[in-house]
Amino acid sequence: MKYDFTTVHKRFHTGSGKWNTLEKFGVKESEDIIPFSVADMEFVTAPEIVEAIKHELDTSIMGYANPTDGYLESVCEWFKSRHNWEPKPEWMLSTQGVVNAFFEAVRVFTEKGDGIIITTPVYHPMYMAATNNGRKLIDCPMTHEGAHYGIDFEALEQAASDPQAKMLLLCSPHNPCGRVWTREELERIAYVCLKHNVLVVSDEIHCDLLMPGHTHTVFASLGEEVAQNCLVLTAPSKTFNIAGLQTSTAFIPNQKLREKYFAALKLLNPNPKCNILGYCAAEAAYRNCAGWLDECLKVIDANRKTVVEFMAREFPQVKVTELEGTYLLWMDLNAFGLDYREIERINREEARLFFDEGYVFGEKGKGFERWNLACPTRYIREALERFRGAYSRYVK
């Protein structure tokens, strides 16, 4: 490997949201464990990004920033080369985080009482985007057979035909279920939404994190009619582990929707601020870090394989969902016959494992764990040993 995927910088007392969980549960540095929860990586930043930021600091002034032409161009080129989709720079609006962007989309394109469809279990802020904004949450549970999730198209048709339904918040690839939706699945989703006049907000923040054999289809690439009925939200933050720089993009090919969104954002915040280092890091990442990402994906895939093989051998009753995309492995521990709160307790107190517990992602996530695989493999091996030690006391 050309890049370093073995060094870990312990982030105790650094304000890291992820590492705060460890602090909360009294983990000491001497325990040499890491959290497997929040979706950021335990890999050191790609040197090309660090160099670009250092150069920016040496040569620039940290004044108010607008997206640079270089940044806009680099995003478009990335989507062309990596996802075979050619967006236009004028479709892009800078946003400060994807969650921010879909919360705003809910406020701008729907009214109080309107229905927002989500396919559950799903990334929890998607529930909040509806409920915190006084919208009706329209739950469209996914099909779940064995370890495979899918869209329940009958349920989607029913949800979209609710006269209150105005928006689908789509998670593509899907967190936490690890699905990379196929073109055919996306076309069916698009068809249902067009038929019922439901706007699609496609959160594609995980679009670059693909396991071998899987291809991401950008929702807006499905044809002109579909492109005119969607917002595509994305960011380099998961791909290159720069979430702290809050630099993300909304692609809105439909001019009227774009102008409406932009005007509404201006109204809420007449002087939006952008992160000058975020643009610089994002441009460096998109232009120079494809090689880093390819190696990173190999490490994630190796970690996936390590966990899958371990569970199949040691705890075959654990259903590990096939990971197609993201670095978040979703597994069902319900066959242990333990209450989900007890599972959480065993993880934290006995195994010293800190996952995102499945119930966070909705009712159907109870007894599941979401395991963040973006870390050096030795930590995965060590965690599996602790998993075995703790659960072999409870499970035959």
Ligand X SMILES: Cc1ncc(COP(=O)(O)O)c(C=O)c1O
Nearer to ligand X, 48 or 203 (CB): 203
What is the distance between the alpha carbons of residues 169 and 179, in angstroms, rounded to a whole number? Answer: 15
The CB-nearest residue to ligand X is 97
Nearer to ligand X, 173 or 253 (CB): 173
Nearer to ligand X, 102 or 109 (CB): 102
Name the burial class of residue 250, with classes exposed (0-12), middle (13-18) and buried (19+) by CB atoms within 10 angstroms of its CB.
Answer: buried
How many residues are given for the chain? 396
Asked if residues 118 and 139 have their Cβ atoms less than 8 Å apart, the reply is: yes
Nearer to ligand X, 123 or 251 (CB): 123
Distance of closest approach, residue 336 Cβ to ligand X, in angstroms: 26
Nearer to ligand X, 39 or 289 (CB): 39
Start-to-end CA distance of the chain, whole Å, equals 40
Distance of closest approach, residue 203 Cβ to ligand X, in angstroms: 5
Which amino acid makes up residue 54?
K
Nearer to ligand X, 123 or 127 (CB): 123
In this structure, is the dihedral angle defined by the CA atoms of residues 155, 157, 161 and 166, taken in order, positive or negative? Answer: positive
Nearer to ligand X, 131 or 164 (CB): 131
Distance of closest approach, residue 61 Cβ to ligand X, in angstroms: 26
HEC secondary structure over 143-170: EEECCEEECCHHHHHHHHCCCCEEEEEE
What is the distance between the alpha carbons of residues 119 and 132, in angstroms, rounded to a whole number? Answer: 18
Phi, psi of 230 (to 5 degrees): -155, 160
Take residue 373 and report the two structure tokens written for it. Answer: 């695989």
What is the distance between the alpha carbons of residues 217 and 181, in angstroms, rounded to a whole number? Answer: 8
Take residue 104 and report the two structure tokens written for it. Answer: 């705003």
For residue 246, is it left (φ>0), alpha (ψ between -120 and 50) or beta? left
Nearer to ligand X, 100 or 377 (CB): 100
Distance of closest approach, residue 223 Cβ to ligand X, in angstroms: 24
The torsion angle over the Cα atoms of residues 232, 238, 240 and 245, rounded to 10 degrees, is: 90
- Where on the chain is the footprint of ligand X (CB under 6 A)? 39, 97-100, 123, 171, 175, 203, 205, 235, 237, 243, 248
